[in-house]
Every structure is written in C-alpha cells, then in structure tokens.
Amino acid sequence: MACDEGLIGFAVTNSEAIMVPTFSRLAMLGSNPIAISMPAKPYPFFFDASTTVVTRGKLEVYNKNGKPLPEGWALDKNGKGSSDAADVLKNIVAKNGGGIMPLGGEFEQSGGHKGYGYGMICEIFSSILSMGITSNHTHIGGKGGTCHGFCAIDPKIFGDPCKIEEHLSTFLQELRDAPKAEGATRIYTHGEKEIIAYADRMENGIDVNVNTVIEMVDFCKFVGLDVEEYLGKLDLESAKNSSSYN
C-alpha cells in the first residue's frame, strides 16, 4: 500500500514462538518477518522474509510430502539439528523445545546470532513498542496475541523522489545484469519472483498439495459448506497418485 503511494513501506509482525535463539533449545521468537518495499521501475523492490532460515509453512509442506528436512533448518527438543518435520512441528505446538533456526543457522560461525538479531528488531517494532505480547507468550491458553508494526517513509524528505526512484531502479538493473555464478542463469531482485509467479498463477492456476485439498474439504464439511458447489467434482482418490491438484 505504501509503495503504491510512492512511499517506502515497512511492516513487521511477531508470531507464535518458533525461532530458537543461538545456544538455546526453546523457541522464544516467532518467524518474525521484516518487509520493506520501495518504488522502482519496472517493478518495486519488495522484500518480505522471515528472520528464520525458513517459515513454519515450509516445514508443513515437507511434512505433507513425507520428505526429510534439509540440514540447517530445524532443531529437536534438545536443541540438536533435526530432519523430522512432523516431530519438530509437534514440539513447537506443545512448546516442548526445538523449532526453526534463525537465518544463519544453528551456530555463530555461520551467523545464526545475526538472524536472531533481526528477529529481535522485528520484536522491538511489533511487541515491544506497542507494549504487546512477545512471541514467547503468544498462543498460550487458546489466546493469540501477535503484534504488528507498520511505517511509511516519504522519500521526499531526502530529495527528489523521481531521481531517487531512478537511482534505485538503476542499481536493481545492475544487479540483474551482473555476471552469473557458474551454473546460474538469472539474478533476481526482491519481489521479481513474486511478479513472475503471480502472472503464471493467473494464467495456469495453482498446484495444491493433495493433502491440503483434503484438509480444505474437511474444513468445508466442518463449517457446513458444499465444496463441490464451488470447485466442481473433486477426484481426490486418483489425485493421490500425483503429488498435487491443480
């Protein structure tokens, strides 16, 4: 919204605790994403990323597909690396210990304390300044309690907004034009992949994991909706043989 008005947008939110701080074995911070957008041509800079290595949703996808988690993503209840998505997800909900690593991984050598620091920045601008509930106290006893922070900055404070936008656009184009790594064919700027994906999904629809469709059908039954009235006849049995449902 800020970007559409020619402003720099900044948004943060804390969440149920899933990030285990460096040297701990208990999730104390949320996935705590930080998002920043800024007008540019041909499309804006649009960065929106959790301060954990991956989000909880990614673990759920691995769990639904019955795949082991890659190394460097998650910790078991003792604070040791784990590839068992189902176990990690169960422990997060039960607050048994374990969770997802901060961006940078488990140890200081690869910069895990930095991801933990970015998670703290998110916490400051969501739960701390608002006197709200920090991630480690949300989602207890059936309550939510997550906090958000929003800010819009007018580039006009700093100079001519058109020139500033042009300056950013030039740098973004230089990044896309930079020499590629061996085996790589394209360098993306932040937000570019989402624009490509959006166009593709509008054209070709969205592939949905079969287990997610089954969940959606169950939810519809639970709230008394006739799902086939909206989506047409679903053939979930034969879909189970492929990995996704379009």
Contact residues toward its own copies (CB under 8 A) are 8, 20-26, 28, 36, 38, 45, 47, 49-51, 53-54, 70, 72, 75, 78-80, 97, 103-105, 109-111, 113-118, 120-121, 123-124, 127-131, 134, 136, 155, 158-159, 163-164, 167-168, 171, 174-175, 178-182, 184-190
Smallest distance, its own copies to C-beta of residue 93, A: 17
Smallest distance, its own copies to C-beta of residue 14, A: 11
Smallest distance, its own copies to C-beta of residue 36, A: 5
Choose between 180 and 221: whose C-beta lies nearer to its own copies: 180
DSSP summary character for residue 124 = I
Smallest distance, its own copies to C-beta of residue 77, A: 10
Which of 223, 72, 218 has its CA nearest to residue 236?
Answer: 218
d(CA 45, CA 39): 6
Question: At residue 120, what is the residue type?
Answer: M
Max Cα–Cα distance, the chain, nearest Å: 60
Q: What are phi and psi of 245, to 5 degrees?
A: -125, 125
Choose between 166 and 215: whose C-beta lies nearer to its own copies: 166
Smallest distance, its own copies to C-beta of residue 28, A: 5
Q: How far is CA 108 from CA 24, 77, 88, 89, 220, in A?
A: 12, 20, 22, 24, 46
Smallest distance, its own copies to C-beta of residue 150, A: 12
Choose between 68 and 159: whose C-beta lies nearer to its own copies: 159
d(CA 234, CA 243): 15
- Contact (CB, 8 A) for 136 and 143: no
Choose between 78 and 204: whose C-beta lies nearer to its own copies: 78
- CA 123 to chain CA centroid, nearest Å: 16
Choose between 116 and 245: whose C-beta lies nearer to its own copies: 116
Choose between 163 and 221: whose C-beta lies nearer to its own copies: 163
Q: Which helix (H) or strand (E) holds 234?
A: none
